[in-house]
């Protein structure tokens, strides 16, 4: 029982770390887009960052897998009574959703160009 608790909570916190890293990558791209827009503010064509279509599809797909695994892990941890693991898994699911929404907003904005 103790080993299972350690494994579930460790996996939940690892999922949270992966979600936080993906959110940090999206925040970096948003800051780069804002900097390009600020840098070329007075010019006729504003600055834009390039986004790869293949990277975008893989990012959204991996975030969806992260979301699904986090929800499954939350359900398992909640049923087993591992409350810290359940909270970490739910937080990682929310962070995955937020990072996908931010990436979608960035990709649909005029500050990005698809390659």
Which helix H or strand E contains 114, and what residues bound it?
Answer: strand 112-114
Tokens of 2: 């103790």
How high does pLDDT run on average in the chain?
Answer: 91
Amino acid 61: pLDDT: 96
pTM over 0.85: yes
- Angstrom distance (rounded) from CA 82 to CA 5: 7
HSE (side-chain half, CA atoms, 13 Å) at 11: 16
- Angstrom distance (rounded) from CA 96 to CA 2: 28
- Asked if 32 and 113 touch (Cβ cutoff 8 Å), the reply is no
| pLDDT tens-digit series, residues 63-87 | 999 999 999 999 999 998 899 999 9
């Amino acid at each position: 029982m103790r080993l299972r608790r350690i494994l579930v909570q460790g996996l939940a916190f690892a999922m949270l770390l992966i979600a936080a890293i993906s959110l940090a990558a999206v925040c970096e791209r948003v800051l780069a887009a804002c900097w390009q827009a600020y840098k070329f503010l007075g010019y006729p064509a504003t600055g834009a960052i390039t986004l790869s279509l293949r990277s975008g599809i893989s990012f959204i797909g991996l975030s969806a897998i992260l979301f699904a695994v986090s929800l499954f892990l939350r359900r398992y941890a909640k049923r087993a009574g591992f409350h810290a693991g359940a909270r970490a898994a739910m937080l990682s699911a929310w962070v995955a959703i937020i990072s996908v929404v931010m990436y979608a907003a960035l990709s649909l904005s005029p500050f990005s160009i698809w390659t």
